[in-house]
Every structure is written in structure tokens, then in C-alpha cells.
Amino acid sequence: VLDGSLTPFPLEYPCHPPTKQRWVPMEATLVQGIDPPTVVVMHHDITERKRAESELQDSERRFQALTENSPDGMLLLSADGTILQGTSAGTLATGYGVDEGAGKSILDFIHPEDLARLKAVLANQGAREGTVCRYHHNKGRWRGVGGHASNLAPTPAGPAILSDPRY
């Protein structure tokens, strides 16, 4: 930084005194027009942010372990029916892998005669409704699916529907 070959750069690092853990970011910046060359180094305490980030990562790992090992098939849908996430238990019943449905509309897998009923569930904010419809299995046949859809909209993350189909 002093010789000008390195531009200002940030660096986060642990700075742990004997009594507690602390994290600080450092930014070193060359001050222009001063002789001799001078660098300003700034620090501030970001320990609380780092603690919150760590807790969030731990929570996400626990949730992922829960959903990946659940014996129930579950889908998280956007308000328009786009599949956001699913559990691996649904793979056996539908024949589709967990990632194969992500980003596609659940409506693309539902029998045409059952679409109106499912669209009504998707539109009913705050409701938990039982429904039965036919779901297209990847082997080409229609399979009856019953279950509940809980329209969680609006949530902090946006509109969402949790479906717990029973195959």
C-alpha cells in the first residue's frame, strides 16, 4: 500500500484478547499528496455480526439436516407455484430427483382436471387446506396425491406455500 502497488484493501480477522473473542475488519488506504507516504488503517468491532452469521449458518445446517432426513415428502412453493425446494423423501413417490423440480411450476406436474382446485389452494393466503390431485410420475403415469397445503404468504422471505403430500 505504501509504495502504491496495492490498492486499498479490506481484511477481516480474529483479534482475540485473553478475555473474549473479537472480530475486526481492517482497511488500509494510502493518503494521497502527503510526504512521506502515509497509510491510514481503520478498524472497528464486528464481533456481533460474526456471531449472528455463525448462528445463522448453524441454524441452516440443522434445518437442512432435518429436511434431508425427513421421511415425509415436502415442497416449498412460491405464490405462483414455482418449486423452490423439496425433500428427498418425495423422490421415491414421484420419480423425480430433488433438483429436477426446482424452478419448475408444480402446475406442470398436475393433471389438467385438477389444476383449478390446486390453483385455488395457491391463491388462498393464510389457509391450510387438504386437497387431492393427480401428480405426473416420471414413468409417465398419473398418481393420486393427497395432502395439505399451507399458504404461508406473506412471510418475511416473500410468498410461500408448504405442501406435505401423502402419496
The listed range with the strongest mean pLDDT (53-67, 95-109, 124-138) is 53-67
Query: Confidence class of residue 36 from pLDDT cuts 50, 70 and 90?
Result: confident
pLDDT for position 43 = 86
Give whole-number Cα distances, 7 to 29, 30, 52, 92, 95, in Å.
7, 8, 30, 54, 53
pLDDT for position 165 = 61
61 or 69, which is more confident: 61
What ranges make up the beta strands (E) of the chain?
Answer: 9-14, 23-31, 38-43, 75-77, 83-86, 128-136, 142-151, 161-166
pLDDT for position 2 = 76
Tens of pLDDT, residues 1-35: 777 777 777 888 888 788 888 889 888 888 888 88
Tens of pLDDT, residues 135-167: 888 888 998 887 777 777 666 555 566 666 665
Using a pLDDT cut of 90, give the percent of the chain over it.
13
